Amino acid sequence: MSAFGCHLPLLATSRLHGGCCSELISLQRCFLLTTGCNRVRAGQTIRPVMVAAQQAPATPQLRICRGQDLKAEELHSVLARPRIDFESILQTVEPIVQAVKHNGDTAVKQFTEKFDHVKLETVCAPIEDFPDPQLPAETVTAFQTAFDNIHAFHEAQLKNPLSVETMPGVNCSRVTRPIGAVGIYVPGGTAVLPSSALMLSVPAGIAGCKTIVLATPPRPDGTVTPEVLWCAKRAGVTHILTAGGAQAVAAMAWGTETCPKVHKILGPGNQYVTAAKMALQNSEAMISMDMPAGPSEVLVIADAAASAAHVAADLLSQAEHGPDSQVVLLALPGVDLDEVERQVSEQCAALPRMEVAAQALSHSSIISVSGRDEAIKLTNLYAPEHLIVNVEDAEDWLPELDNAGSVFLGRWTPESVGDYASGTNHVLPTYGFARMYSGVSLESFQKSMTVQTLSKEGLKRLGPTVAHMADLEGLTAHQRAVTLRLQALA
């Protein structure tokens, strides 16, 4: 019998917390353990992972049935993410976007006071107006190491112009240019993320963007987080927008009295930030965005030799991001699930963000799989933001892994290294968008132009083909633009 030969009903409720600066979409669902074992009796319940006495959501038990393979819709339910109701969120965001469009800095100040309870004196200012922050030497060293690695990896992505002579006298090329003005969003709220400042501003600087506006929510006293400011100054940011949420995105998209208008907005953020980016991309603001995104997530594939402590730590490293994060473990045969359970429970109970992680675990899952083929199939179906392959000979799995934002291979590659300092970018597609989107890279801050140059000989060779095709399509002016030149060469 397949390891997925059981019906897995899910129990779910959702509650949306309002406010455009700190959001939570919390879904109560089971932390499930499916074994697919022939010894599992019909109606048998599996003990869920319990997270100490302070666990935030109640954890319902999940009935596991033995039987035929999961149908497609059942498998979809098992791997479903916490739902984000973008329709209602867009309705909340749209008045903010329009208010900033018409009232500029005044609207940004009003919404910042309303949602963040901070009165701003200045909305946006050139970065040289901010004093250099004083940080501990250890912090500066860590940031500099991360900067160097991120810079090295993204600088290596610079490409030489492509030039091809498609036929004698016909030269086609592709050249790259920086996007002139970009906005980068660095979240605040429940966690300070200077790493995101580096991940976004370093490639923007390498690409040659002339205007780089960094938006980040203010601290309670109205100042910018010193760690974020240090990273922004080090990486070449030109302006700091001291605001978060939809109002910050709108300020960068429309431009205000103090904030330059940008052409593209990139960076992680809550669903209000994402909704604002989506709304403005389809507006007169004429901006583009990096990718749609949802809550953080990780999928871990582990074999029998994987350390249960490491597996649990990897799962919790994403669960602590937010209550709407999701983590999934695909356990190959031989994995000690009881020990993984114990490690998750003990490690979660010791986390400062225990309650946040516990809520994320309530809609996360452990799934036993029969082998490599099933693990790869489920991984590509789920398309995780982060994928950890904690198995022997992990590199051998890579050719079959198609859908993931960033992949971490082997026993000694925790997802945390990519979040901070390995050099790859941590701004990645979530919510299954890894099926069709890539993470942020140097190209995210660039645009390309194609160029063609024809000699007289080239036009003589290619012209008749083009004239004939234009005639077939009934576009006479297109045809004459060629034939008049051919006549001049006769």
Catalytic positions are 385-386
Q: Tell me how far apart the alpha carbons of residues 62 and 58 are, in angstroms, rounded to a whole number.
A: 13
CA angle 437, 438, 440 (to 5 degrees): 125
Do 366 and 64 touch, CB atoms closer than 8 A?
Answer: no
Side chain identity at residue 450, one-letter code = T
- By the 8 A CB rule, do 278 and 289 touch? yes
Per the DSSP assignment, residues forming a β-bridge with 289 are 265
Contacts of 242 (CB under 8 A, 6+ apart): 120, 122, 123, 124, 216, 217, 218, 222, 223, 224
How far apart (Å, rounded) are the C-alpha atoms in residues 355 and 68? 37
Going by their DSSP bridges, the two strands 181-185 and 211-215 should be labelled as parallel
Contact 61, 46 (CB under 8 A): yes
Beta bridge partners of 63: 45
User: Within 13 Å and on the Cβ side, how many CA atoms surround 34?
Assistant: 31
| H-state helical runs in 282-353 | 308-319, 337-349
User: What is the maximum alpha-carbon separation in the chain?
Assistant: 90
Burial class of residue 79, CB neighbours in 10 A (0-12, 13-18, 19+): middle
In whole angstroms, how far apart are CA 240 and each of 132, 212, 213, 333, 449?
13, 9, 6, 51, 30
